[in-house]
Chain A
Amino acid sequence: MEKVDALVERLAQDTLPLRPAPHPYKLGLSWLLGAAAYLVISLVVSGVRPDWLQQLQHPWLQAELILLVLMCVSTALSAAVLAFPDMHQRGWLTRVPLVLFGVFGVIMLLAWHADQPPAPLPIHSFECTLSILAAALLPAAWVVYTLRRYASTHVRRAGSTALLFAFSVGALWLRLHEVNDSVMHVILWHYLPMIAVGWLGLSVGQKWLRW
């Protein structure tokens, strides 16, 4: 008890002003704006697929892209909320990406069903996953680095959500860059690896977000 009292006295003397954490919506928005800028720069550098205007007329691709954007938004806000010990008392936000991922899965299955006759599979396969991972590295490092400045008490979930956000940004970039209409390929090499990335994020969070 005496030790606790002494500690209280010591801590009370150390009230150096700390920069207060921003509101999670503000934090999430900063990540989203950064990701948007990164996406634009990446597309300018790598180039948008030449038939993008025509392709955007397809309702399944529209739904896919809208859901990918929503995944980015929801994972960014979710990771921002998870940066706070009490999730800023908005724990419900952390469940939104899961719901969206479910909807996304259903949409992709419907798109695959509607892909008749199926578009030819491209020659490449895992290269797409590697490209997305490479594109996601910078956003992932940025979000994890920022998260380390706060005090997450759900480090595994925070790590997983941060990596899913980065991977969604990478997936969005590749979808707008790659000339490919095979839904099967996209499911197999663009979106299924998301599950592995989410899994990997649990370990990243455990290792890098402890404080």
Chain B
Amino acid sequence: MPEQVDSLTLLMQKALAGDKGAYAEALRLTAQLLRPYLSKRLNAASEVDDLLQEILISMHKARHTYDGQRPFKPWVFAIARFRLQDHLRAHYADPLRHAVDWDEIEETREADVTETAIRYESITAQIGQLPEKQAAILQLLHQEGYTAREVGERLGMKESAVKVAAHRAYKVLRKLLDREWKK
């Protein structure tokens, strides 16, 4: 690592003298140096990439504060730490950081409710064993193609109650089918 830092210092000295190639190489090596540092502290790879870019831009903006006479690593890590703190501060200050995009969930849940690997017609016997309401919900969802919301409107139920009932029905169905397949 010290050899790399030394080479970085040398490259930055050349970069400060106007060598574009040396500067590009210094930026590339800096990115390599900082990536593990950021990866350890951030979860998402996309966050690491975004922050790394931000740090490189900051380094570029602040290059006039580096004279090439002192070690490069403390200088660049000070900038990296500063930007990382900024990023984390903004992240934790965001009241919606734990929020889940309900639209995505809705899509997923609806997909779970309406899309099954088994065709409705092939398991009508098992559906017949379900409570009347659950059977009606599955019929409307899978045979007639209504959405959970539409089923709710028809049966006078809330959409979420339809989904819950459908999930319960799936559980029972799974057990029934498992039992039959084991036979």
Residues on A facing B (Cβ under 8 Å): 1, 3-5, 7-9, 11-15, 17-21, 23, 83-89, 150-151, 153, 211
Contact at A4–B24, with CB atoms within 8 Å? Answer: no
**B78 contacts which chain A residues (CB < 8 A)?**
85-87, 153
Interface band, chain B: 20 to 34
Contact at A4–B53, with CB atoms within 8 Å? Answer: yes
Contact at A12–B24, with CB atoms within 8 Å? Answer: yes
Query: A-B contact count, CB below 8 Å?
Result: 80
Task: Say what secondary structure dominates the interface of chain B.
Answer: helix
**B57 contacts which chain A residues (CB < 8 A)?**
7, 11
* Best-buried of B24, B27, B65 by chain A (most CB within 10 Å): B65
A103 to chain B: closest CB distance in Å?
29
**A21 contacts which chain B residues (CB < 8 A)?**
64-65, 67
* Contact pick for A8, options B28, B61, B70, B82, CB 8 Å: B28
A1 to chain B: closest CB distance in Å?
7
Contact at B20–A13, with CB atoms within 8 Å? Answer: yes
Contact at B52–A83, with CB atoms within 8 Å? Answer: no
Contact at B20–A15, with CB atoms within 8 Å? Answer: yes
B73 to chain A: closest CB distance in Å?
9
Contact at B60–A11, with CB atoms within 8 Å? Answer: yes
Interface residues of B in 51-85 (CB under 8 A from A): 52-53, 56-58, 60-65, 67, 70-71, 74-75, 77-79, 81-82
Other A-B pairs, 12, CB within 8 Å; known A1-B49, A4-B53: A5-B28, A11-B23, A11-B60, A15-B20, A20-B16, A83-B65, A85-B75, A85-B79, A85-B82, A86-B70, A86-B78, A151-B58
B31, CB-defined interface residue at 8 Å? yes
Contact at A4–B75, with CB atoms within 8 Å? Answer: no
Task: Report, nearest first, the 10 A-B pairs whose CB atoms are least far apart.
Answer: A151-B62, A12-B24, A153-B82, A18-B64, A85-B78, A86-B75, A8-B27, A86-B78, A86-B74, A21-B65
